[in-house]
Amino acid sequence: MNSSLSLVTAQACALILLTFVAHADPLQESITATDKNNRKEQASQQRIDSLGEQTRAMLEEYHALNRELDSLTVYNDQLQRLVQSQDEEQVLIHRQMDDIELTQREIVPLMLRMIDSLERFVTDDIPFLQPERLQRVQLLRDLMDRSDVAVAEKYRRALEAYQIELDYSRTLEAYREELDLDGQDLTVDFLRLGRIGLYYQTLDGRAAAYWDQVAQTWMPLDTSGRLAVRRALRVANQQAAPELLELPIPNGRSHAGH
């Protein structure tokens, strides 16, 4: 009896064990499959994350390249405008050079005529500062023969000489210079009143005269005339205050001036 019970119990345990083993294999397979799926999902997520990072990097690079392309486009447009401007400037420079060459051919003869006219004017004018003025004319002639001086500079110097002559008409001037009187050189004080009157006085003050442009000679002054020239010389030399002066002029009338 006891032997039979033990045999039945052993069989029951064996059956339970077989049932557990039969059910354990699918469970283990399910766990294993789940684990594999989890690992696959993790790998997939990692690949997705990696692709996301690559995509963001590529997108940033794309935007950077677009910005660089925009900058290069603007720079290229600027360079094209600069090249076009330089081309236009070269055309203008060539045209100006042609015009300058034509102008030089026209202005050089004009300047030569200006110098001739200036020399005649100085020679025919009342004889004040003659050596200095004639030397200025000669310097202009020498300047015209120099190849190292631009035409514009030559023209400027010619105009400057004309301006100096023009200024003589508006000034009162005193200067000391040699005077040829009857073949004898005499140092005298000259007084120039614009281009209206030219006078001299000897250094001792005993003699004075004015230039008669019509007669082309010096006309002596009387005592009152000498005193007037002496006062005018003091004013011109800034040794006396300006005052109303009466000086003889070539037409025989008196001239009043400061």
Tens digit of pLDDT for each residue in 145-169?
Answer: 998 999 889 999 999 999 999 999 9
Please give the Cα distance from 103 to 234 (Å, whole number).
Answer: 49
pTM for this prediction: 0.57
**Rounded Cα gap, residues 254 and 180, in angstroms:** 26
pLDDT bin (cut points 50, 70, 90) of residue 258 is: very low
Under 8 Å between Cβ of 244 and 256: yes
- pLDDT score at 254: 41
**Predicted local confidence at residue 128, as pLDDT:** 94
234 vs 243: CA distance, rounded Å: 10
pLDDT digits 0-9 by tens, 97-112: 556 666 777 888 999 9
d(C-alpha 250, C-alpha 237), whole Å: 24
Q: Above 50 in pLDDT, residue 193?
A: yes
CA distance 191 to 257: 13
Place of tokens 């009187």: 181
Q: What's the pLDDT tens digit per position in 17-60? A: 555 545 555 667 777 777 787 787 787 788 777 777 888 888 88
Where along the chain do its domains lie? 104-167, 172-257
Tell me: pLDDT of 216 over 50.
yes
Instruction: Give dist(CA 41, CA 224) in Å, integer.
Output: 132
Encoded tokens for 14: 């064996």
